[in-house]
Structure 1
């Protein structure tokens, strides 16, 4: 199963309609709070709507009730964010891939929390391909192993340690190559690299590594 989540982030951060529609046809959508209305505007009707809907007007909520079969409503005062509630539901579906939109924007607290929630997906569903996407960035996490990355219009590639130590980081096919480097948490050594080959390889043997692909 392939899943995609639309949260309530700013519309101008969300990729163009064509990119959303280019996801596999069997992708099922989860709408979070106002993200449900964003999906409606894109001509997409989600499988489930999740959230406290505190940013949705009464008439808009009626529209959601009429067009979404499953609605999971939470109280505004709760221990988890709406995003975490949606991810809990997604984890239960055991998807093979998960794409998250509307998770970045002006609220840096929400944005950082959403990025760290990727750790939860990585721990619960290590084989699930998971990305946070907006118009300028693609964010994903990796456990130790060897991975390939292809050239796209997201030219800049940064690797950021999420755990205390990344051991034996090796980059092949990049402008700035590395071989068996120890990267500590907080290091900026691997910010803003680029591929010089059609396909590059990165590998490491300890820690959790965040890859951010970006374009201006």
Structure 2
């Protein structure tokens, strides 16, 4: 399995056109109301997770009729619906997981979703959180190549660990070399590539990269 796309129940106006993210050897997964979003987009989810407490009876019947793999949970549980779906997705060992419908609405859910990126670090699986304006991903030490994207020209690096050691940015408008940054630093907000590709590297810590439109 090369790719799994997960659609959660965030505001529809922040979810990009999903069909452009379709690929060979991939699965679509709906999370709670995100399953309705998939069906409305003409995409039949391979799996669906949630307590489905945020949908109407009509929408629930629609899901039960269409979704072949339906996982229903009690509303009172120790994990969010998205975490349950993400854990299942990681168990399938894909090369990439892309998650939509995770921004807008409740800030606590969004902050929790950001932290779920760490599960990809633990499993050595690339996870991207995607909306119309942003792509968010988490990285461990090493050298990483990044391609220029004119649709998302702004690139920010935010420390997720207490310290990030020897951060180096090459091919950027504001380059860095062996820089030490700490949790809470805004030094690396809103940078840009000046060439078709660039690299970023660091020796210790965890970094969140955000690619954004204006």
Fold match, TM over 0.5?
Answer: yes
Deviation for aligned residue 1:84: 0.6
How do residues 19-30 of structure 1 correspond to structure 2 at under 5 angstroms?
A: 19-20=20-21, 23-30=22-29
How far has the Cα of 1:18 moved from its partner?
4.3
What TM-score comes out, normalization by structure 1 length?
A: 0.96
* 1:19, distance to aligned residue in structure 2 (A): 2.5
Aligned to 2:163: 165
Match of 1:57 in 2: 56
* Partner of residue 152, structure 2: 154
The alignment's TM-score, normalised by the length of structure 2, stands at 0.97
Structure 1: state its 5+ residue gaps. none
Equivalent residues in 2 for 1:44-193 (5 A)? 44-123=43-122, 125-126=123-124, 128-152=125-149, 153-193=151-191
Q: Quick one: distance in 1 between partners of 2:12 and 2:192?
A: 28
Tell me the alpha carbon deviations over residues 19-62 of structure 1, each in whole angstroms, 9 at most, x when there is no partner: 23xx3132201100010010011111111110000011111111
Q: CA deviation at 1:162?
A: 0.2
* Distance (Å, rounded) in 1 between the aligned partners of 2:99 and 2:58: 26
CA RMSD of aligned residues (A): 0.9
2-side partners of 1:24 and 1:129: how far apart?
Answer: 16
* Count of paired positions: 212
CA distance in 2, matches of 1:19, 1:137: 15
The alpha-carbon deviation at position 200 of structure 1 amounts to: 0.6
